[in-house]
């Protein structure tokens, strides 16, 4: 039994909960932070749905990324920190600063606390949004040497992930005092949901299964959340991961219509509402005048967002499931929990 303690920030998060499951299975003790203590029972219920009874190996601490309070308590006695808590699309953000400031300050707050507590390594959950926005690589997939351009016209969430990851690396270089850092940059995260609160990316699967009228010509990488968790654990302990970023994508990127075709082929009658009809770009642009969700898609119409995880496979021995299996796992779990429209 590995008795080391790991802090996982943002315990209500989709990736965070699968990281907790992976850590508990590997024998670690886990502490997780919550902004709202009333969500403790929800987290435990999700872990049970994932097949783990946490018992006394999981503890909770109330800590908000916007405040210093309780972060010293959160990291006390921890060998590692998996830091994934960050602002996500909620509709509450009014300005770009509402995204960026909490993300940057939150990263620095956790890193300072980890450094001062003698934590060995922090693994930062960043995103493909910090890699592939605002520019296009010439003749190759995106890789870890690429950074999104925060001066370009990119969505505020992706800008916040870019600036907050850059701030983390700058902190390590200037004030880390030996604290180690690795970053995991997932593409769109799919895989089995554990309850009604799941990743923003899984909503694509739900929308298709619920009868989205057509598929915009948008391309994305996909990865299973269980493999994202596995990559976090590898980045946490492998000496080769120190100071490195790792993109997480399963194979080639897919167009949304490819995703619909997988659902139709693999789920049969359960995917009867799924259409493989391609929405013309002109229709998406017209809809963008009235629909904020469609407006967000316009910059990505027809753009190939392919990336590579060669680095994680080569350095860390990471071997993810196929994107197709991640798509199917999302749909099957949505069905299992009754989360699709009638």
Strand duo 254-255 + 219-220: pairing: antiparallel
Output the pLDDT for position 136. 86
Residue 267 CA, distance from chain mean position = 25
Q: Which of 137-141, 149-153, 324-328, 335-339 is the least confident region?
A: 137-141
Output the pLDDT for position 342. 87
Output the pLDDT for position 89. 52
Grade residue 137 by pLDDT with cuts at 50, 70 and 90: confident
> pLDDT tens for residues 244-254?
999 999 999 99
- Residue with tokens 């997939």, as numbered in its chain: 141
Q: How far apart are the first and last CA of the chain?
A: 45
Domain limits of the chain? 5-189+223-250+307-320
> pLDDT tens for residues 85-96?
876 555 565 678
d(CA 29, CA 26): 9
Output the pLDDT for position 87. 61
Calculate the average pLDDT of the chain. 95
Neighbours of 29 (CB within 10 A): 20
28: DSSP letter: -
> pLDDT tens for residues 260-312?
999 999 999 999 999 999 999 999 999 999 998 888 899 899 999 999 999 99
Output the pLDDT for position 97. 80
Q: Which helix (H) or strand (E) holds 254?
A: strand 254-255
Beta-bridge partner residues of 33: 61
> pLDDT tens for residues 157-171?
899 999 999 999 999
Residue 28's φ and ψ, nearest 5 degrees, are: -75, 155
Output the pLDDT for position 230. 98
CATH architecture, domain defined by 5-189+223-250+307-320: 3-Layer(aba) Sandwich (3.40)
d(CA 130, CA 230): 21
CA quadruple 157, 183, 17, 6: dihedral positive or negative? negative
Question: Is residue 48's pLDDT more than 60?
Answer: yes
> pLDDT tens for residues 57-100?
999 999 999 999 999 999 999 999 999 987 655 556 567 888 88
d(CA 342, CA 331): 14
150: DSSP letter: T
Asked if 216 contacts 256 with a C-beta cutoff of 8 angstroms, the reply is: yes
For the chain, percent of residues with pLDDT exceeding 90: 87
């Amino acid at each position: 039994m590995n008795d080391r303690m790991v802090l996982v920030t943002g315990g209500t998060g989709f990736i965070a909960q699968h990281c907790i499951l992976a850590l508990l299975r590997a024998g670690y003790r886990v502490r997780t932070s919550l902004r709202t203590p009333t969500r403790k029972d929800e987290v435990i219920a999700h872990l049970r749905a994932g097949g783990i009874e946490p018992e006394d190996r999981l503890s909770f601490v109330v800590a908000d990324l916007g405040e210093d309070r309780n972060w010293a308590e959160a990291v006390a006695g921890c060998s590692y920190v998996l830091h994934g808590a960050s602002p996500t699309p909620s509709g509450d953000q009014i300005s770009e600063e509402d995204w960026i400031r909490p993300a940057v300050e939150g990263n620095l707050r956790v890193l300072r606390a980890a450094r001062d507590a003698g934590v060995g390594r922090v693994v930062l959950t960043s995103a493909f949004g910090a890699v592939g926005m605002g520019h296009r690589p010439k003749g190759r997939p995106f890789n870890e040497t690429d950074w999104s351009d925060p001066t370009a016209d990119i969505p505020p969430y992706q800008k916040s992930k870019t600036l907050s990851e850059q701030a983390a690396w700058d902190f390590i270089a200037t004030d880390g005092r030996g604290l180690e850092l690795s970053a995991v940059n997932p593409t769109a995260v799919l895989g089995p949901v554990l309850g009604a609160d799941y990743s923003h990316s899984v909503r694509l699967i739900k929308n298709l299964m619920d009868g989205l009228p057509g598929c915009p010509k948008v391309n994305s990488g996909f990865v299973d959340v269980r493999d994202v968790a596995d990559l976090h654990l590898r980045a946490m302990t492998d000496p080769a991961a120190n100071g490195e970023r790792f993109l997480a994508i399963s194979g080639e990127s897919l167009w949304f219509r490819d995703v619909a075709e997988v659902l139709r082929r693999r789920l049969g009658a359960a995917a009867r509402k799924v259409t493989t009809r391609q929405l013309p770009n002109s229709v998406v642009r017209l809809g963008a005048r009235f629909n904020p969700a469609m407006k967000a898609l316009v910059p990505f119409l027809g753009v190939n967002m392919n990336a590579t995880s060669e680095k994680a496979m080569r350095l860390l021995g990471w071997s993810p499931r196929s994107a197709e299996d991640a798509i199917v796992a999302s749909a099957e779990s949505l069905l299992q929990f009754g989360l699709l429209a009638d």
